[in-house]
Structures are given as C-alpha cells and as structure tokens.
Structure 1
Amino acid sequence: MMNVVIPRDFHYNLPSCSVLRKIQPLCAVKKTSLRSKAMTSPSIAQDEDVSSQAIILEPVREDGIDVLLLFFPGGLTPTQAYFPLINTIQKKSSFRLWATILDPGKSPINLPMIEASFDGMITRTKELGFESGELSISRIFVAGHSVGAWCSRSISMKKSEGFIQMGSFFHTNPDNLAQYPKPVLSLGGGLDGQLRVAGIAKHAGEILSLEPEMGYLNTNATKPVIIFPGMNHAQFSHGIPNKERGDIDAHISLEDARAQTAECIVSFLTLHVKAEDETKQLALENLSKCVKRTHVLYKTFWEAVENQERQAKYWQLQVAGLEELKEENVVVIKHDYMDNFVYSKPWIDAKEKRIFVQLYSSPADKFGIVKNIWIKMKSSDAIHQLLGKSAKKSKIVRAADINAETFHEALSLTPEVSRRKFYESGKKLRFIEDCIVMTSGQDWVDSDVTMKPAEDGSDIVDVQSTVIITPVQGIASRFAGMHYMKLLSVARCMEWILLDSFR
C-alpha cells in the first residue's frame, strides 16, 4: 500500500491503492530553523519556502535500501497527477523508495521556490523515517517534469546523486548535458509537441558522439537519453495533452507510457545506488536496450539537425544550371546574426569562378533547434553573364521544387516504422507556387516559409516559400542578378514527418 502524507487543507482524489494519512506540519521551531537557513542565501526569499506543503509518498516495501526521490512537477499540473507514475516506480523498485513532491500551490514553480524548499522537503521525509546515507546527498535523487525539471537541475547538481528529466532538455550552451557532473537520465516522448522531440534527440546525438572517448557506460548508464515512440508530453503526468501549448494526442496508452517510464527510472536508480551486481547488470541491459532503440529511430534526425545548411551549395548549383560548376565553385557564408545577413549580398568572382552565397538559419520553433533556411544566391542569368556563357534562357528553379525534393530526402532518412505511421495518419504536404516578392527586400526579410491548411478543406497542408529574383539589366548593380529563397531544411521536414503531421 502507498502511504501518502499531505499538508492540511490539501484536497485531491487519491488513487484507489493509496492510504491517506495526515500529519501535523513541522513545529514552529523547525519552521523557523528552515527559514533562517534559507535566508542565508540572498537569492532565496523567505516566503518562497513551501516545503511544508510538499506531499510525501512513503515506501511500499518494508525492506531494502532507503532511497529518496525529490520530485518537481510541470507547470499547470496538479501534484496528484504524478501519483500513479511514482507508485509504479515504487512497486518496480527493490528499494524502500520515498518520494516527496513539491506542491507550488497557486504560484508557478520556479528556481527560487525549489531552492528555498529543498532542504525542508528532505527534513520532513527524514522525520517520517527516511534513513539517509553517510553524506548529505547519499541516495537522494532529483526528478522533474517539464518546467519542474528545467528549474531543478542546478540544485540537483549540488545536492543529489543524480538527476532525472522528463519532457525537458538542457537548452543553453553553459548548461551542457555532456559536461553536467552528475548522472542524468533524460526521458522524452516522440510525440511531445510542447518541448519538441528535436531537443532531446539532439542530446542523444551529443552523448553518442562522445562514446569513443567516454565509453559505453557513459552512453547507457551515466547519461542515457531515451525517447519513447508514440508518447506525448502529458503522459509523464495525467495524460491529457495541452493542445493550446502544442502537445498532441499520443499513440500509446497512458498505462504503457507510465510502465516504460518507471522501468527506465528504476533501472537508472539501481545503477547508481548500492545493489547486487546481477541487479545492476539487468538494469544496464534495460537502459541499453532503450538507448539503442532511440539511436535507431532518431539518429538520422539529430544528424539532420546538426547540419541543416548542408544543401546550400547544391541549391546554388541548381539555380546556376551549369554542369561545369561543382561544389568547390560555391562558397557559403553562414551568418549567426540576422542583421548581418539582411545587409549582405551574394557575389561572383569571375576570375576564380566562385559564387559567394549568403545564408541564415531561422528558428522554426520556440526553442530555435529546428530551422528554416534563408539563402541569398546569384541568379542563373547573372552567373551566365559574368562567366561568359551564352545568354540562353535557363529554366527558373522554383523554391517549391526544392522544398519537395528536400521533403522526399527527409522521407528516405526517416526509419520505416515512423514513415509508415506518417503515411497512415499524418497530414500530407503540398508544395504550392512560390510567393514572388515584387515590392521590397524588407517584405522578403519579414516573411518565412509558411505551412497552412489547404483552403479546399482537404486534409492537406500547403507549403509556400517567398522568393525574390531581380533582373540583370535595368537595375542598380548592387541589386542586380539576385535570387533569394526561404526554404525548408531536411530537419524541418523530418520533424513534420515524426511529429507535427499528427496535429
């Protein structure tokens, strides 16, 4: 049976397997002590400590090593939504697993709140019987979902033995998963429309790339990155997708999602807590199996994310339409800042037979991982003229055709199981005529590739690119002979096939 210890005046519906037990809150002396300790850090406000409202789930086992899981929920998600997952973890574990869930109340969960409440959560659990190890961090692990994971990983680094993030990923460069000094289990859903699958797939690629130096155990035990196919963002909690925030319907049951999640968490805990060697070997085999499946299904995706601009030379050669020009005749200047790109121009070095192309990768989602490609090329007419070729009128290369070709390449890179699911139920793309900008360059800059439901009511999404083509004659030389396009990257197409087509 799962004993649940809750603060006064907290109301919720318990799972049928649980036993409700109320306790008195911490005595006034201990509350004062905790708050005094919190106030020693100027970054932690006294009123941020909500540890007295934390919910404690006592172990379901009488024997085994004591282990504590400090859990931080996602935003707008009631704490009780995580009870079934935690109960599943407790049942699968061979430890006396305690779990303490921070309840932020009506306030959004945030880093100051977590820092102020962390020690109090541990103190309350110890008062109920949790036996810690020799060190203050011994057998203490931090887990979080979504923003709860995002906000808790910094304190986990200082005050726990390991960190478990669900539906979240390390986003900024200083906050680097590979360099994080504690073990981290990263779990994501293949249909997570809120945090996006690209971020955690990128993690998997980063960790795998280090295996020649860091070894097999780093990939599979210390920094395992696992994506569950068919699982969405909400299935780490109550399973109800927040579609306003982008999440989509799952392709697996909530029970299956919880079982897979719990199995991986238990295996991770087993590997990093003292246990029998045979038990650890089984745990490693389980994590390794899940990590390998992630590599099989998402390796081509994270490789596409890592090199989203690789087709730029090919696109310029297509526009040029000259067989004698090869990749070495095209130089791509990649811009990290849009302002620099906006004021740049492509040019041709006729003597060296080189075309200099300007390129900028525009974020296609709120995390900026998957990109659309903005490219400034020289037009076919300008290349023929400056290289002394005949002035025959070549066929205009459409952005729509390039996008269609890119999409078919993405399909070929998508694993068969994902491709089949897309063909069965994913929304299909139609690449419609380019939007030719005739007014000003600024209008082109302000635009991007659009993906909109078809106006004919069919279950098709129309993709359209904006394009500028300027004449060679009758215009200022600075603006003559330009061919600008906004295009889909292979990564963006793969993200559509794997995720967004199921919206």
Structure 2
Amino acid sequence: MFSIPVLTFAFILPVSVFALEAKVLKPTKNGTFDVGIIITPGADIAGEAYEQLGIKLQEAFNGRMWISLLCDFPFNTPNPLQLGTGVSESISKFKDAGFQGKNIFLAGHSLGGVFVGSYGLNHWSQLKGVMLFASYLTRSHRLRDYPLPVLTISGDLDGLTRITRIVDTFEELENETLHNPTPLNLITPVIVMRGINHGHFASGNMPPNVLKHDLPVDKDITFDIAHSTIASHVSNFITVNTGLPKEDYAKATAGLKGAYTSTQNIIKPLSKIKALDTNKAKSSFSTVTAQKYILGDKLAAHVDVGDKEISLQEIDFYEPDVQLKNKSFAHVQTYSNVVVPFDPEDVSLNPQTPSEIQSVMKSKEGMIELLPGVPHDSRNLTCRDLNKFLYHVALNASSSLAHNRSVERNSPEITFHDDGISGNVLNWTLDSLDLKYGANGALDVTSYAFIVAADDKGGKMAGTIHCKLLSPYRAMEWIYIDSLKRNVS
C-alpha cells in the first residue's frame, strides 16, 4: 500500500483547481430500500477503473444499489482534502436521482483506503460503514474502537498490501472475537481471498508501481471472477450490518462466518511461524533451535536450552549462561534480540517481518570443554548453516498452496553466502544480516558472526558464538510473496 504524506498536497496546485467528479451507477434492480457505495480509487488509478467492480457489486446485492466512482483526483491520486467533497457530491447525486434512506458505505482501494479509514473516524454520522479494499486501519486505530462497521478485504497474492501485514489485523480480530461477546467477525470482518492480487480490485492497465510490486495471479482467477468474489463478500457485509434484505440475513451471516474460517486457514501457517519468535513468553524458538543444531545431535541430547529476549541496548553485554546439572548434562540460557523493521507510517509495501534475530549462543567448542565426557560429532557449523536450517523450518511450515505456487512458478531457492566475521561484539551488533532482494524473486542472505574461542583468556565471552539469524517468519514471507515476484530488480 502506498504512503504519501498529506502535507505533500499543500505544495501542489490548490485542489480546488481540480474538479472532482462523482460518476453514479444507478441501480439495476428494483426493491424497497436503497444502499449506496462510494468508491475511492487507489494511487495512480482512475476512478473509472472501478466501474466493472461496481457492476458486480450491483449484481451480487439483492436490492437497489447505487454506486459512485470518485473520478478526476489530481494526478489520479486520492487525497483527504477532496474526499469529503466527493462524499457530499455523491450523496447529493444519489438523492437527486431518487435514493432514499441513510445506508451509505464508503470504500477505498489501497491509498484510498487509508484516507477512507481516517474519514470514517471523523464523519461516522454520514456513513453506515467503511470498506477497505487491499487496505487496512493503521496501527494507531483498533478495530474494536472504530465507530463504524469496517470491512478489511484483500488477496493472498497482493504484493503491495502484504498478507503479512493483514496477519496483524486478523490476529487482532481473532483475539477480540475470543474475548468479546459482540461478534466482531461480523461487524469488523477481515477477509483474505485466495488467488487475488492488488490490481484485481480495479480493471484495465495498472500503474507502474502496481506492475512492479504486485504478484502474478493464479491461472484460474480472472478479473471477472475476482470482482464476483469481492462483490459477494461486500454484499454479505452490507446485509449483515444493515439487516437488509431480511430474507438474505441468515445467508449473509453464514457467508461472513465462512470467510472468517477460510481466512483463518490461510493465515494460520503465517501466524504460527510468527509466534516462534514474537510471543508473550519473550523467547526465541530460532535461537533455541539454532543452539541445539550447532551442537550436533549427540551433544545436544545432553543439553537443555532456554532463551530470553533482550533489547538491542543489552545484547552487547550478555553471554550464554551455562549451569552444569551433573557431569553429563547442562542447561544453557541463550539471549536474543528480535529486530523488527522501523515503520512509523505503517507501509505494507515493505517486508513486515523481523529483519534479523541477534542470537548469543554457546559454541560447540565451549560446550565440549564444559562436558568433556559427553560424545559429540565432528561437524563444525556456521551461522550460514543455521540460517539454511531455519529457512527449511519456514519451508516445511508453509501451506501446500504456497508450495504448489513455488513449484508451478519455478521460484528460486534462497542463496546463502559465507558468514562475514565481525571483529568485536560491537561491530557484530552493527553488522546487520544482509538480505538482498533481486530480480525474479531472488534473495541472497549473508550472516555475520562473532566467535570467541573456548580457550580465550581475554574476556568473559570465551566459548561463545554470536549469529545474525534469518527469521523463519521473514523466510516464509519471502516464500509467500517476494519469491513469486518477476522481473523486479
């Protein structure tokens, strides 16, 4: 999803110079009640590009549905300064043409959804609900606190509104659904559709930024099928939150509940792998697994490992704590810092998963010195080997659909390079895991290691290894999204 600072518009020509047009599609069905949807386009997409979706929305809804397409934003990019004018003009045109009632919904695609979400917060009395097409409420706004029903809907092949960003919103809904007697999965549904990408909400030629970042679609998904799928979910959302038509309410409720279950199944592998290193226990599975793996099976069988996540400021000062239980068994306390991307504007175009896991572990050499009578193998593994292993953790946990897409589209493997060696622990902290995204889904990974020999007499960190680890969640995000991109450099 795009991010354009609102203040940018203050330095362009006054928006009043540009006449915003509300293009109205009148109802195609008869009925006893009216519903209106005002559609705000995404960046660089003309409002007219949503006409085919509007037609499908009218076909899907069993009532008099009015559609307004907001057209002629400056540079075909929506802005909050004109959105209110567009809403008012749309409602006025609806009423002049015979619209009755107050069932007005405001929809926005991509960047348009960002502005629509903000508009609904301050103008909720004008609207019956809000729809975010390939968009979401930013992190400063909670679903449960939003003053209107809000539909968050996107596709699992969206290269701009990444499914890994939607995971966070769905988990928020999932948690609220478990602990709230109000059925929020009907009032604030979060829906991910199989095979649909960012451009599927519109029609025609997509702008360069969408073409660059969006994912190729599944072969069986056409624009017509995508629009019908979107329209079905939107129709259910409207019926449930207006109660109209009454005869469709039960079916619409079942439809939203089914969409919740379907989305839950799509999201589940991502949520599970995310929780390995981001959890309430503040313990990194990746570091625990890497510690055991680097020791080898024989030695690891005599070691119990626990991990504690600490801050970036603390990571330089910690070393693994080893407690010998007896001559043949020890407990190792490792330490980790899970580094998440700095994203104050909440832009889903960029990777949403940890950029690295800083892991402080006991080296194999160090454990052999502490447990000299315990058998061990002769393998000497590096941080590179650990990252290969963690990649396969993600690969094995991915859905069968993700595997099939990788095979069908001939996705590349990640290329793992030899470790860079940091001269001291401070340099290691500053040497970030090198993730280079290349053309046609390529990803090159280079870790950095800081190793202190077991017989080192110069400091307290003797027998330790510091590794920059690849987060399995970052690896899974690459499998689901970035590995599928084509001709992107």
Instruction: Pick the TM interval, shorter chain.
Output: 0.7 to 0.9
Q: 1:238 to 1:468 in 2, by over 3 A?
A: farther
SS of 1:411 mapped into structure 2: helix
Following superposition, the deviation at residue 73 of structure 1 comes to 0.8
Following superposition, the deviation at residue 255 of structure 1 comes to 1.2
Equivalents in 1 of 2:143, 2:441: separation in Å?
Answer: 39
User: Residues 231-380 of structure 1: matches in 2 within 5 Å?
Assistant: 231-238=196-203, 240=205, 242=209, 245-251=212-218, 252-308=221-277, 309-320=284-295, 321-327=299-305, 330-335=306-311, 338=312, 340=313, 343-348=316-321, 354-363=332-341, 369-380=352-363
Equivalents in 1 of 2:458, 2:81: separation in Å?
Answer: 57
Q: Does 1:147 align with 2:116?
A: no
Following superposition, the deviation at residue 447 of structure 1 comes to 2.9
Q: 1:215 to 1:482 in 2, by over 3 A?
A: same
The equivalent of 1:110 in structure 2 is 79
Q: Does 1:95 align with 2:63?
A: yes
Task: Please say if residues 64 and 95 of structure 1, whose CA atoms lie closer than 8 Å, have aligned partners that are also in contact.
Answer: yes
Q: Does 1:469 align with 2:451?
A: yes
Pick from 467, 470, 473 the counterpart of residue 491 of structure 1.
Answer: 473
Following superposition, the deviation at residue 217 of structure 1 comes to 3.8
Following superposition, the deviation at residue 195 of structure 1 comes to 1.4
Equivalents in 2 of 1:151, 1:446: separation in Å?
Answer: 38
Following superposition, the deviation at residue 256 of structure 1 comes to 1.0
Q: 1:414 to 1:216 in 2, by over 3 A?
A: farther
Task: Please say if residues 313 and 331 of structure 1, whose CA atoms lie closer than 8 Å, have aligned partners that are also in contact.
Answer: yes
Following superposition, the deviation at residue 290 of structure 1 comes to 2.5
Equivalents in 2 of 1:473, 1:361: separation in Å?
Answer: 31
Pick from 164, 169, 178 the counterpart of residue 203 of structure 1.
Answer: 169
Q: 1:394 to 1:67 in 2, by over 3 A?
A: same
Equivalents in 1 of 2:397, 2:362: separation in Å?
Answer: 30
Question: Which amino acid in structure 1 is aligned with residue 244 of structure 2?
Answer: A
Q: 1:407 to 1:343 in 2, by over 3 A?
A: closer
Question: Which amino acid in structure 2 is aligned with residue 264 of structure 1?
Answer: H
The equivalent of 1:425 in structure 2 is 409
Deviations 1:25-65 (A, max 9, x none): xxxxxxxxxxxxxxxxxx9x995567753322222234331
Question: Which amino acid in structure 2 is aligned with residue 162 of structure 1?
Answer: G
Q: 1:56 to 1:179 in 2, by over 3 A?
A: same
The equivalent of 1:14 in structure 2 is none
Question: Which amino acid in structure 1 is aligned with residue 400 of structure 2?
Answer: E
Q: 1:257 to 1:51 in 2, by over 3 A?
A: same
Pick from 448, 460, 468 the counterpart of residue 433 of structure 2.
Answer: 448
Deviations 1:69-104 (A, max 9, x none): 122110111111111101111122222222223231
Deviations 1:342-387 (A, max 9, x none): 6444343658955341313233975563123322313416743884
Q: Does 1:63 align with 2:28?
A: no
Q: 1:412 to 1:215 in 2, by over 3 A?
A: farther
TM-score by length of 2: 0.80
Higher relative contact order (CA 8 A, sep 6+): 2
Equivalents in 2 of 1:383, 1:307: separation in Å?
Answer: 26
Question: Which amino acid in structure 1 is aligned with residue 354 of structure 2?
Answer: K
Task: Please say if residues 150 and 188 of structure 2, whose CA atoms lie closer than 8 Å, have aligned partners that are also in contact.
Answer: yes
Task: Please say if residues 287 and 307 of structure 2, whose CA atoms lie closer than 8 Å, have aligned partners that are also in contact.
Answer: no
RMSD: 3.4
Question: Which amino acid in structure 2 is aligned with residue 130 of structure 1?
Answer: F
Structure 1 window deviating more from structure 2 (221-230 vs 301-310): it is: 301-310
SS of 2:31 mapped into structure 1: coil
Unaligned runs of 5+ in 1: 1-42, 133-137
Deviations 1:126-180 (A, max 9, x none): 2333223xxxxx31111110010111112224231211111112231x3122432
Pick from 394, 398, 404 the counterpart of residue 410 of structure 1.
Answer: 394
Task: Please say if residues 133 and 201 of structure 2, whose CA atoms lie closer than 8 Å, have aligned partners that are also in contact.
Answer: yes
SS of 1:168 mapped into structure 2: coil
Following superposition, the deviation at residue 245 of structure 1 comes to 4.8
Pick from 385, 409, 412 the counterpart of residue 401 of structure 1.
Answer: 385
Number of residue pairs matched by the alignment: 445
Following superposition, the deviation at residue 451 of structure 1 comes to 4.5
TM-score by length of 1: 0.78
Q: Does 1:170 align with 2:137?
A: yes
Q: 1:245 to 1:431 in 2, by over 3 A?
A: closer
Question: Which amino acid in structure 2 is aligned with residue 112 of structure 1?
Answer: L
Following superposition, the deviation at residue 423 of structure 1 comes to 2.3
Equivalents in 2 of 1:492, 1:227: separation in Å?
Answer: 20
Following superposition, the deviation at residue 193 of structure 1 comes to 0.6
Task: Please say if residues 350 and 387 of structure 1, whose CA atoms lie closer than 8 Å, have aligned partners that are also in contact.
Answer: no
Equivalents in 1 of 2:190, 2:48: separation in Å?
Answer: 26
Pick from 355, 367, 373 the counterpart of residue 384 of structure 1.
Answer: 367
Following superposition, the deviation at residue 113 of structure 1 comes to 2.9
Following superposition, the deviation at residue 275 of structure 1 comes to 2.2
Q: 1:119 to 1:51 in 2, by over 3 A?
A: farther
Q: 1:239 to 1:450 in 2, by over 3 A?
A: farther
Equivalents in 2 of 1:381, 1:417: separation in Å?
Answer: 38
Following superposition, the deviation at residue 68 of structure 1 comes to 1.6
Task: Please say if residues 41 and 77 of structure 2, whose CA atoms lie closer than 8 Å, have aligned partners that are also in contact.
Answer: no
Equivalents in 1 of 2:25, 2:174: separation in Å?
Answer: 36
The equivalent of 2:156 in structure 1 is 190
Task: Please say if residues 141 and 156 of structure 1, whose CA atoms lie closer than 8 Å, have aligned partners that are also in contact.
Answer: no
Following superposition, the deviation at residue 472 of structure 1 comes to 4.2
Q: 1:201 to 1:84 in 2, by over 3 A?
A: same
Q: Does 1:128 align with 2:128?
A: no
Task: Please say if residues 64 and 94 of structure 1, whose CA atoms lie closer than 8 Å, have aligned partners that are also in contact.
Answer: no
The equivalent of 2:419 in structure 1 is 435
Task: Please say if residues 399 and 465 of structure 1, whose CA atoms lie closer than 8 Å, have aligned partners that are also in contact.
Answer: yes
Equivalents in 1 of 2:422, 2:377: separation in Å?
Answer: 21
Q: 1:310 to 1:366 in 2, by over 3 A?
A: farther
SS of 1:421 mapped into structure 2: helix
Q: 1:141 to 1:322 in 2, by over 3 A?
A: same
Unaligned runs of 5+ in 2: 1-9, 278-283, 326-330, 343-347
The equivalent of 1:40 in structure 2 is none
Equivalents in 1 of 2:308, 2:450: separation in Å?
Answer: 19
